[in-house]
Structure 1
């Protein structure tokens, strides 16, 4: 199971999102933070060196997910539990999302 994703802002590596021991962790890459004109991926995740932690998938990322029938069909297609928001995010947000953010799985 994939537990990390690389978050891109307009195609630029910006942050890492991971799920570890039931906790979601989001942290900006130091290289991105030092980039002139760097922008936060969301107003709810302002630029900072410290990581963000949550027991729920951050709402910004949860809002990238489909709902209803589309979500069910995606889960069936990729054999993902409908409650596994993180795995679904890593599957569907790799390209062509609405907006500037994409999330690509990190395989270790």
Structure 2
């Protein structure tokens, strides 16, 4: 079983889990569910207590990634992801997702300090 902590706008909202058999589930944090700011990640992942095990979990997180198989192949090579499966790709690049959702290993937290002093350069081999 492997997990990724899911953040929205730097607030912990839940945990994505991949079981040994490859099945995915998502569980919202109880603190998030009690928050007046709580909202679902997607209409297909409604706010609820307990694990969400529907196919929608896999599809939602898969859609955070580029559609192009060639770009996914480049992510595997560049970041040495374990496979082209969405969970493995997000484990490597989920910290820099487009939009408000970020996925990080358990115990890690992305802060604005991560960007301070960073030199932005144009890569010679872009992903897309």
Describe the shift of the 1:103–1:73 C-alpha distance in structure 2 as closer, same or farther (beyond 3 A).
same
Pairwise CA distance, 1:104: 0.6
Give the CA RMSD over aligned residues.
2.1
Counterparts of 1:57 and 1:34, CA distance in 2: 21
Identify unmatched segments of 5+ residues in structure 1: none
Is the counterpart of residue 17 in structure 1 residue 3 in structure 2?
no
Pairwise CA distance, 1:50: 2.1
Kept after mapping to 2: 8 A contact 1:27/1:52:
yes
Identify unmatched segments of 5+ residues in structure 2: 108-128
Counterparts of 2:45 and 2:56, CA distance in 1: 14
Is the counterpart of residue 69 in structure 1 residue 70 in structure 2?
yes
The one of the two structures with greater contact order (alpha-carbon pairs below 8 A, sep at least 6) is 1
What is the TM-score when the length of structure 1 is the normalising length? 0.84
What is the TM-score when the length of structure 2 is the normalising length? 0.72
Aligned position for 2:42: 42
In terms of fraction of residues, the more strand-rich structure is: 1
Counterparts of 1:48 and 1:54, CA distance in 2: 13
Counterparts of 2:30 and 2:61, CA distance in 1: 21
Larger Rg: 2
Pairwise CA distance, 1:84: 2.7
In terms of fraction of residues, the more helix-rich structure is: 2
